[in-house]
Every structure is written in structure tokens, then in C-alpha cells.
Structure 1
Amino acid sequence: MAKAPPPAEPIEPGPRHAERLVGHDAALAAFHAAWRGGRLHHAWLIGGPAGIGKATLAFRIARWVLAGGPGTDASLALPPSHPAFRKVAIGSHPDLAVLERNENAKTGRMRTEIVVDDVRTLASFLRLTPAESDWRVAIVDPADDLNREAANALLKILEEPPPRALLLLVAHAPGRLLPTIRSRCRRLTLRPLAEGEVAALLDTLAPDVPPAERRAAAAIARGSVGRALTLAGEGASALKRALQEVIDRLPEVDPVAAHALADSLGRPGAEEEFALFMELLRDAVAARARAAATGGADRIAALRPLEEWGAVWENLGRLARMTAGLTLDRKQAVLSALSALRPGAVPDIP
């Protein structure tokens, strides 16, 4: 008897498919008012910390505009059964382009930045006549990833926008974009979600995670649903325990435990675990810096002055970015990061 085919993989939840948008009613109202007032700016810069719903807002706006701005509801909601919703969700809408990092055809690896050729392709797309709607819409996610040439090419589009073209730029750190790009966009600044909002979303998005772990993830997610999902995911608890054991042993660092952790995070396929570990480590350092600044009763914080904790936090971020961006040895990066926790040490950045 032939084996039954495996069940279809469910669509990974993400901004393209999200029906709900929590905590950003002011941004929705601002866009809706501009649309209804006939004052729709050609470019909108959606800024705020990672994981709080910026891309979800961008796709919500895109769907609504491509559907013709139906109704008077400022939530800009479309039912999942709407043709525009379905086409955007599966990436088949002919009037929507999404500009993001993609695979380098020569190396087969994901690029670390958005390159100029992709922006030029986007410019050609925006000059075309809309196929199904009244608008051509482009989402740049995130604009932070544009390299200098790509940023300058995007600036040319913003300076001379084609008619009936709408650009939605997602940015985790808008202040790092070119001032000339920022000045040509209308700003929608999103704030981190409240802990209760994050917890409620986790209940929906991660129902299989034990309630206690969902609550703990929401409490330390800093208002980011994306971060909360990562923290609530499989393996995050083990990483948090391993890191806490390291912190508890300071000022000493157990070399056997350090090498075991580095081996685990340096293995093939552990890139996301490495990124999560480095983020958790920076969080731990930031907590000690705050304790050092306020004179709190924290044994670990007292091991070094505030200025040193700040330098360690900054250098750990640089080490994480360089390791991911340049595909450096993750095992060595973990060992360097753990060594930097000792008083007087700093990360050995290649």
C-alpha cells in the first residue's frame, strides 16, 4: 500500500499573512486621514524597534491601498478572503514589490545588505502602469539594510516619484538613514507594545508554549512580539539557563563550560541560536550597567564601573554584527564574548 503524503506545511505566520495589528492605532489613523483627505504622501517611513509590527503595518497599508481603500474604517483591515489579501499573502500581487535582502546568485548565500541593482529594478517596477489596482506599492524591509549605493538610488526615486506610486520604508533605526531620505518621507513612529499586548499575542501565536514560558517571554521582550516569539521558542530556555550559570560564576569563567557552549553555538545550522545568545548576553550586560548606574545591590554589577559595562555592551553588539555579516567563526566569537565578562576584559573583535 502506498504511503499517504505528509500533511502540507502550514504557512509560517508573518507580516504578509497577519490579520491583526496590535497597539498602533495612531499610525493607522494618520495614514487613513491622509488618504481620505487626498493628501497621500508618496513615501512613508515606518520606524521603531525590531519586532513591534512595522512590517505588519506596511503590508496592512499595502493591501488596503491595492484594494482601493475600501470603506471608512481607520483600521485598514481587509478580510483574509479578499483577493488583495490573498495575493499579497502569497506574493503574487502584480502591483506590489517587496525590496529586501536576497540570495547572492554567485555565492548561494544570503546577502548582508540590499544592493543597488535591486533598487534599480524597483525603480523600473514603479514606473509601470498598475496592472490590477490604481497604485504601485513598494515595501523596503528594512531600509536599514540598504548599502550606500542602494540608498542613493532609492533617494533618486524619492526625489522624482512616479505617479500613483507609494513607497513604504520600514526602519529599525531611522536616524541612521540618509538625512535626505528621511526628509522626503512622512514619518510613522511606532512604540514598543505593552507587556499585556505582547502576552495576548503570544497566546494566539504560540499556543503550544507553556503559559509560564509565554508570560516570562513577554516580560523580557521589551515590547517586541518578534523577540517574544524567539524567547518563547524551543531552545531559548536552555540558552537562558546556560547564560545564567555563566553570569552566576563571575568573576570567573569556567573554561570547560565556555567551550561546551561555544561548540554548541558554533555548529552548522546554529546561526539563530547564536544570534539569540548574543542578544541575551547583551541584555544581561545592560541589566548590570543599569544596576551600576543606580547603585543597586547587584554583586555582578559591582565587579566593574558603569563605563566598562557600557563598553562591553557596545563591543558585544559589534562582535555579533561582524560575526553574522562576515560569516566569522561563531565558536571563537562566543569564547571572546564570554571572556569579555571578566573584569577589565573587552571582546576580541576580529
Structure 2
Amino acid sequence: MGDTLESDRLGSFPHPREVSTLVGQEEAERDIFDAFMGGRMHHAWLLTGPKGIGKATLAYRAARFVLRHGVPEVAQAAHATDLSVVESDPVFRQVAAQSHPNVLVINRPYDDKAKRLKTVIPVEEVRRTANFFGMSAGAGGWRVAIIDAADEMNVNAENALLKILEEPPARGLFLLVSHQPGRLLPTIRSRCRTLRLKPLTSESIATVLVANDVKASAEERIAIARLAEGSAGRALSIADGGGLDLYREIAALLVALPKLNVKGVHALADKVARRGADEAYTTTIELLNDWLQRLVKTGAGAALEADLAPGEGAAMTRLGASGGLDRWVEVWEKISQSVARAEALNTDRKLVILNIFSMLESVAGERVGA
């Protein structure tokens, strides 16, 4: 199985285990660092927040740090001030190469029969922790299990993890990455120390784009950061997949509502629904949802930001001004349901895109009296 089939890898960009820096999450990092240095290291940490803000990167930083230093005294002697471990360190290299014997990573496995990643983390994956924590740890004595993302465990897997957390192994560290912690069993959450990571600032996202050698002007980086809404991972996806141009194409269709450019919609659908365009399709759905979300916020009185595409602010004001916003919220929810159902039934993605624009046209017509 190649790297591109890892559930926690973003396109061709470096995997979080290969990244030596963490941008914009200094407060969360300080909490883990202080706990370790003060001899109060909790056995399980739940790292929460939106996708793409650095949760997995923080998990790997914490794992490398405890494996590298073992005890606070060693970290103090090394004059450590944060969780960083230099890339030349053997621990860093082993973790990056997935060869460190004291690290176990649990995520959605590859399904050889279906030739794709499984949709959940099955109980068999979590049960691997029993043997892992039963082995003798190497130098430093720590063994670290990273679960990314914990939200993807099925019920049996959650129950298996709960049993381990109820009787945590000595010198064992669990790092749970969670985008939606409310989906986890309350008993799992209660046995973890929760760290809520914050969405990144536009400045932090711009730093990440530069660090990943994204070719974009300063103006384009600002626009990408705004579309990413605090997620560096999403910003990289948008930049890598031509998402900024895609957004402008989508917005040009939306600002004309309730008049629908049928030819333009079909051209968009043909482009993002073709074989091999999975990333473009996913980005299109996300951008459509985001546009609707901003329309609802605008209609509720939120201040308008500068347009990312010509006329979008005026269109949002016009479409969100007449009457309540219930119908827009309703269509927003219907789009999410329609996309999920289509994926489950393997529906033609072009039909999904066409159906979304048809729903938007209908509601826009109601709102402006067309």
C-alpha cells in the first residue's frame, strides 16, 4: 500500500510524522510540555478541533519528545523549551520512517478486497494495543499509541479502547486525534485530558503555505487562508488542487441565482465528477457548503468581508435579505444528506452536482420572487 492510501495523509504533502514544526498551536503544546516537565503526564490526551489545524502534528511531536527524553530530568539537561526534536535525531528518523518499536499508529486500514481504505477503524486494529503495551519498552520506557482519527472507530473498537483506558499501562501514552469528540463514548472522553486546538489565523496559514512551497502570490495566499477557515490542511488542499480558481468558478454561478447558467453548471459537473477527480469533487462540495454557510451568516447580520469573487457579497446580501433563513439552512442540510447518500449508493457524482444547483436555484427563486 502506497503512502497516498494512508487515511491521515494529505495528498503529496509531508505526513504529520515527517513534519518538524507546528504553527499556531503554542498554547496546546505548552500544556503537554508543562505536564511532562512537571511529572504530571496524563496517560491519555484527546486532541480536538477542526480538521487540518495541527492535531496530528502535535501528537507526533509529543510522541517524539517523550521517546527522546523519557523523564523530565533528561529534558531539563537538554534545555528543552518545547516539544521539538531535531530532524537528525534517531527518534525523529525512526518515527518518520514508521520503524520506531515504541510507537503504534491506529487508523483506518486498507481493505485488500475492496481496494480502498475502510470507512471505520475496526476492533481488530484497537486490539493490537494489547500486544503492543504488553511488550517491554525500549530506552526511556515509554510506549505511545496514536489513534487518528478516534472518531472513526466503530462501537466495538471504542469499547475495546475503553477497557484499556480503564486500566492504563504503566508508561503508556495514548494520543487521540478527534475532529468530532461528541461522537466518542462519554466514558472515553472522561478518561482523557482534552486539549482543544484552535483554528489557525490567516497569518499562520500563510506561514504553512510558504513552508510547503505553495506557489501563490501574497493576495492568493490571503484568499486561500480565508477559504480554509482556520485549517492549514484545507488550505493546502485548496492550493494543491486549484481550489481558488474552482471557488471563483463556483461563485460566478452562485452570484447569478436565481438565474442558473445551465451550461456552466454542466461544465463544472463534468470537470469535477470525472474519473480521477476525487479531490476536485470533494473540494467543490466543501466550497458549496462554505458559500451557503457564509450566506446564512450574512443574512443573520454578520459583517461582510471583501469579495473573493466578483459580486459575491452583494449576492449573499440579496439572497439572504428576504424573510427568514430557514429555507437556506434547510437546503444546506439537504445537500449534506444528499452527498452522504450518494456516496453510500455510489451515485453518479455529476447528478449530485446538478441536483445541488437545482436545489439552490429553487430556493433562490422563492427568496427573490422569481
State the partner residue of 1:6.
none
State the partner residue of 1:18.
19
Following TM superposition, by how much is the alpha carbon of 1:242 offset from its aligned partner in structure 2, in angstroms?
A: 1.9
Following TM superposition, by how much is the alpha carbon of 1:199 offset from its aligned partner in structure 2, in angstroms?
A: 1.3
Following TM superposition, by how much is the alpha carbon of 1:295 offset from its aligned partner in structure 2, in angstroms?
A: 8.3
- Cα distance change of structure 1 residues 41 and 325 upon mapping to structure 2, 3 Å threshold: farther
Aligned residues: 335
State the partner residue of 1:5.
none
Distance 2:336 2:240 in 1: 22
SS at match of 2:169: coil
Corresponding letter in the other structure for 1:270: A
When normalised by structure 2's length, the TM-score is 0.85
Task: Kindly report which structure 2 residues correspond to 1:37-56, keeping only aligned pairs within 5 A, or say none.
Answer: 37-56=38-57
Corresponding letter in the other structure for 1:126: F
Equivalent residue in structure 2 for 1:337, among 332, 339, 356? 356
CA contact (8 A) 1:94 1:132 kept: no
Q: Does 1:230 align with 2:237?
A: yes
Following TM superposition, by how much is the alpha carbon of 1:279 offset from its aligned partner in structure 2, in angstroms?
A: 0.6
Q: Does 1:189 align with 2:196?
A: yes
State the partner residue of 1:139.
146
CA contact (8 A) 1:251 1:342 kept: yes
Q: Does 1:96 align with 2:103?
A: yes
- Cα distance change of structure 1 residues 303 and 277 upon mapping to structure 2, 3 Å threshold: farther
Structure 1 gap ranges (5+) = 1-10, 346-350
State the partner residue of 2:294.
287
Following TM superposition, by how much is the alpha carbon of 1:133 offset from its aligned partner in structure 2, in angstroms?
A: 4.0
Q: Is 52-61 or 333-342 further displaced after alignment?
A: 333-342
- Cα distance change of structure 1 residues 198 and 187 upon mapping to structure 2, 3 Å threshold: same
Equivalent residue in structure 2 for 1:273, among 280, 284, 301? 280
Following TM superposition, by how much is the alpha carbon of 1:231 offset from its aligned partner in structure 2, in angstroms?
A: 1.9
| CA-to-aligned-CA distance 1:273-311 (integer Å, 9 cap, x gap) | 111101100111011111221288612223673111112
State the partner residue of 1:306.
325
CA contact (8 A) 1:48 1:172 kept: yes
State the partner residue of 1:129.
136
CA contact (8 A) 1:198 1:223 kept: yes
State the partner residue of 2:367.
none
Distance 1:50 1:323 in 2: 23
Corresponding letter in the other structure for 2:163: K
- Cα distance change of structure 1 residues 138 and 12 upon mapping to structure 2, 3 Å threshold: same
State the partner residue of 1:116.
123
CA contact (8 A) 2:250 2:288 kept: yes
- Cα distance change of structure 1 residues 12 and 235 upon mapping to structure 2, 3 Å threshold: closer
CA contact (8 A) 1:303 1:343 kept: no
Following TM superposition, by how much is the alpha carbon of 1:140 offset from its aligned partner in structure 2, in angstroms?
A: 0.5
CA contact (8 A) 1:100 1:142 kept: yes
Q: Is 246-255 or 292-301 further displaced after alignment?
A: 292-301
- Cα distance change of structure 1 residues 132 and 202 upon mapping to structure 2, 3 Å threshold: same
State the partner residue of 1:148.
155
SS at match of 2:116: coil
| CA-to-aligned-CA distance 1:102-136 (integer Å, 9 cap, x gap) | 21122111111111111112332122211444111
CA contact (8 A) 2:53 2:232 kept: yes
Equivalent residue in structure 1 for 2:173, among 166, 188, 205? 166
SS at match of 1:97: strand
CA contact (8 A) 1:68 1:134 kept: no
Task: Kindly report which structure 2 residues correspond to 1:17-96, keeping only aligned pairs within 5 A, or say none.
Answer: 17-69=18-70, 70=75, 71-96=78-103
CA contact (8 A) 1:27 1:189 kept: yes
- Cα distance change of structure 1 residues 304 and 255 upon mapping to structure 2, 3 Å threshold: farther
Distance 2:339 2:131 in 1: 36
Q: Is 154-163 or 290-299 further displaced after alignment?
A: 290-299
Following TM superposition, by how much is the alpha carbon of 1:327 offset from its aligned partner in structure 2, in angstroms?
A: 4.1
Corresponding letter in the other structure for 1:52: I
Q: Does 1:315 align with 2:334?
A: yes
CA contact (8 A) 2:224 2:244 kept: no
Distance 2:114 2:65 in 1: 37
State the partner residue of 2:223.
216
Corresponding letter in the other structure for 2:110: E
Distance 1:295 1:160 in 2: 48
CA contact (8 A) 2:223 2:244 kept: no
Distance 2:57 2:237 in 1: 17
| CA-to-aligned-CA distance 1:121-172 (integer Å, 9 cap, x gap) | 2332122211444111011111111111111111111112222211000001
Distance 1:102 1:213 in 2: 36
Structure 2 gap ranges (5+) = 1-11, 304-313, 365-370
- Cα distance change of structure 1 residues 178 and 268 upon mapping to structure 2, 3 Å threshold: same
Q: Is 122-131 or 269-278 further displaced after alignment?
A: 122-131
SS at match of 1:101: coil
SS at match of 1:78: coil
State the partner residue of 2:311.
none
- Name the % identity: 44
SS at match of 2:47: strand
